[in-house]
């Protein structure tokens, strides 16, 4: 099954196209325009009409980025008449370390001294969510992680936390693994589609852990 994955939840906007286990396209984009995405699909020798499903990162993440990616995914799914599924951002990041055996903490900078956070388990190339998504202040996050005594991989935006999390049982993933790449969104989307977990395009909205900071100016 040919699944297109779109991720615009972080500063790295990326696209992934798979055919079951085969990788067809993996690239980064300057923006989420449909015509740009169609260009890369055709470069892989695939017609847009041959896409059988579209998966998109739904958050948490960048307010404007999530809205843009979801709008593009909805438009393409409607025009191609294919299934649409939303994939949580932290799941897509966790999938970067799906080949480890153990527990990982996925951490995404949420600004305002907060982090988006969730725990996952990885085994035999699959990930399993252990907690819901949480938005935590830095001190609260440090306190929660300090209570973990077993081996733990930390993946995501951890640069500012390393000095405070200097524990022998902690391992830090490389920065390249800190983004929810489109190919991971496609792979997780394929699992959802295969399980019949199709989303309603009219009801699928970005998942924010806190309200965006929007100021209304009055004349």
Q: Report the CATH number that the domain containing residue 76 is assigned in CATH.
A: 3.30.420.40
**pTM score, whole prediction:** 0.93
pLDDT tens by residue, 198-218: 999 999 999 998 655 544 444
Residue span of the structural domain in which 32 resides: 2-89+179-194
User: Domain total for the chain?
Assistant: 2
Quick one: 188 and 148 in the same domain? no
Residue 189's pLDDT is: 98
Low-confidence ranges of the chain (pLDDT < 70): 210-219
**pLDDT in the model for residue 215:** 43
- Do residue 115 and residue 15 come from a single domain? no
Residues 31 and 17 in one domain: yes
pLDDT for res 201: 93
Residues 109 and 138 in one domain: yes
- In 30-99, DSSP assigns E strands to 53-57, 83-87
For 194, list phi and psi in degrees, rounded to 5.
Answer: -60, -30
- Is residue 5 within 8 A of residue 183, CB to CB? The reply is yes
Same domain, 74 and 139: no
**Both 150 and 187 in a single domain?**
no
Does 68 share its domain with 131? no
Distances (CA, A) of 31 to 8, 13, 25, 103, 219: 8, 7, 16, 33, 33
Residue 147: inside a domain, yes or no? yes
Question: What is the reported pLDDT for 199?
Answer: 97
- Is 172 domain-assigned? yes
pLDDT at 158: 87
Tokens of 55: 């998966």
Gyration radius of the chain's alpha carbons = 18
The answer to whether residues 85 and 120 belong to one domain is no
Residues 9 and 36 in one domain: yes
Question: Could you count the other beta carbons within 10 Å of the beta carbon of residue 129?
Answer: 15
Is the same domain home to 32 and 78? Answer: yes
Let me know: does 207 contact 133? Beta carbons within 8 Å: yes
Judgement on whether residues 131 and 24 belong to the same structural domain of the protein: no
The pLDDT, as a whole number, for residue 188 is 98
Query: Shortest CA distance to 206 belongs to which of 89, 98, 124, 128?
Result: 89
């Amino acid at each position: 099954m040919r699944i297109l994955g779109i991720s615009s939840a972080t500063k790295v906007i990326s696209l992934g196209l798979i055919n079951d286990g085969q990788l067809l396209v993996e690239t980064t984009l300057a923006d989420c325009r449909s015509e740009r995405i169609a260009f890369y699909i055709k470069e892989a020798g695939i017609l847009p009409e041959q896409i059988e499903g579209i998966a998109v990162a739904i958050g948490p993440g960048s307010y404007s980025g999530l809205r843009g990616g979801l709008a593009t995914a909805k438009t393409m799914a409607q025009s191609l008449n294919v299934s649409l599924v939303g994939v949580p951002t932290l799941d897509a990041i966790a999938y970067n370390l799906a080949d480890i055996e153990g527990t990982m903490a996925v951490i995404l900078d949420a600004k305002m001294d907060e982090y988006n956070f969730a725990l996952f388990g990885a085994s035999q190339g699959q990930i399993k969510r252990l907690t819901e998504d949480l938005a935590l202040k830095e001190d609260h996050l440090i306190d929660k992680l300090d209570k973990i005594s077993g081996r733990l991989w930390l993946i995501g935006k951890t640069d500012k936390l390393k000095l405070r999390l200097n524990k022998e049982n902690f391992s830090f993933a490389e920065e390249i693994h800190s983004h929810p790449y489109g190919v991971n969104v496609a792979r997780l989307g394929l699992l959802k589609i295969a399980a019949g977990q199709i989303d309603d395009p009219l009801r699928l909205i970005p998942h924010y852990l806190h309200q965006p900071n929007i100021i209304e100016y009055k004349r």
